[in-house]
C-alpha cells in the first residue's frame, strides 16, 4: 500500500519520501511511528538504521516488530546480535521477526548458538523458531543437531526434525553427491554414537552410508 501511494504521489510531482519518513520518526507519535519505520525501511539507506534503533525498546509490540524488520532491510549484517535477542523474546511475534531476520541472511554460521537456545529455552515459540533456523543450516552442518531434535518430547518438533533429517539422508547419492567433509563426518559420528540407541531403526540404516 505504501509503495502504491508513493508511486501515485511521485507521478504527481517530486517528493522526497525518505526525508518525510525521517521527519515523521523524530516526533515519535505512536499513531504514525509504525508507518514511518516501515516506510524508512523501504526507502532508506544503511545509515538510517541508527534512526530506527532507539525504538527497539518501545512499549508497543508492533513498533518493536517494525524496528526488527527495518534493521533486517537496512543493515542486517550489523545487527545479528539484536536479531538473536529478538529470537529469544518472550513475545511470540517478536521472536518470529527475529527468526525472519536471521533466516534472510545469506550465511548462517550459528549452529552451536542456535542449539544452545533450542536446548535451554522453556518457551515453545522460541524453540520452534530456533529449530526452523537449524533446518536452514548447510546440509551436513544441520545433521548433528537434527539427530538430537528428532528425539524431542514435542511431537511437532520430532516430525519437523525427522522430515528434515530424512531429506538429507535420503538425498545422499540420489539427488546430490557432495559428501560431508572429514570434520563434518566426525561431528555427525560423535552425535550419532551418543543417540544411536534411541533413534528409529530406519534412521540408523539411512545414516550408515554417510559414516562409512
Q: What is the pLDDT of residues 127-161, one digit of tens each?
A: 999 999 999 999 999 999 999 999 999 999 999 99
In the chain, which residue ranges form alpha helices assigned H by DSSP? 2-12, 17-27, 33-43, 49-52, 61-74, 80-87, 92-103, 111-120, 124-134, 139-149, 155-171, 182-195, 201-211
Q: What is the pLDDT of residues 10-47, one digit of tens each?
A: 554 457 889 999 998 887 888 899 999 999 999 999 99
- pLDDT bin (cut points 50, 70, 90) of residue 97 is very high
CA 49, CA 33: separation in Å to the nearest integer?
A: 15
pLDDT value at position 172?
A: 86
Q: What are phi and psi of 177, to 5 degrees?
A: -135, 20
Give strand pairing partners of 176.
Answer: 172
Residue with cell 527495518: 70
**Counting every residue, how long is the chain?**
212
pLDDT value at position 6?
A: 47
- Name the packing angle between helices 33-43 and 2-12 (round to 10°): 70
CA 137, CA 145: separation in Å to the nearest integer?
A: 10
Contacts of 147 (CB under 8 A, 6+ apart): 165, 188, 191, 192, 195, 199
pLDDT value at position 177?
A: 83
Amino acid at each position: 500500500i505504501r509503495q502504491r501511494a508513493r508511486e501515485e504521489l511521485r507521478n504527481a510531482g517530486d517528493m522526497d519520501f525518505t526525508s518525510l519518513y525521517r521527519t515523521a520518526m523524530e516526533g515519535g507519535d505512536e499513531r504514525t511511528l509504525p508507518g514511518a519505520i516501515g516506510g524508512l525501511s523501504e526507502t532508506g539507506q544503511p545509515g538510517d538504521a541508527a534512526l530506527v534503533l532507539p525504538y527497539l525498546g518501545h512499549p508497543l509490540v508492533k513498533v518493536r516488530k517494525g524496528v526488527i524488520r527495518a534493521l533486517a532491510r537496512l543493515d542486517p549484517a550489523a545487527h545479528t546480535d539484536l536479531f538473536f535477542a529478538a529470537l529469544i523474546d518472550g513475545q511470540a511475534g517478536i521472536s518470529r521477526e527475529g527468526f525472519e531476520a536471521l533466516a534472510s541472511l545469506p550465511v548462517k554460521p550459528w549452529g552451536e548458538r542456535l542449539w544452545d537456545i533450542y536446548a535451554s529455552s522453556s518457551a515453545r515459540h522460541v524453540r520452534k523458531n530456533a529449530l526452523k533456523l537449524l533446518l536452514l543450516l548447510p546440509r551436513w552442518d544441520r545433521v548433528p543437531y537434527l539427530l538430537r531434535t528428532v528425539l524431542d518430547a514435542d511431537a511437532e518438533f520430532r516430525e519437523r526434525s525427522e522430515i528434515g533429517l530424512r531429506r538429507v539422508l535420503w538425498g545422499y547419492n540420489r539427488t546430490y553427491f557432495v559428501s560431508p567433509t572429514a570434520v563434518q563426518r566426525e561431528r555427525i559420528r560423535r552425535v550419532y554414537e551418543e543417540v544411536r540407541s534411541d533413534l528409529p531403526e530406519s534412521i540408523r540404516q539411512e545414516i550408515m552410508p554417510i559414516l562409512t
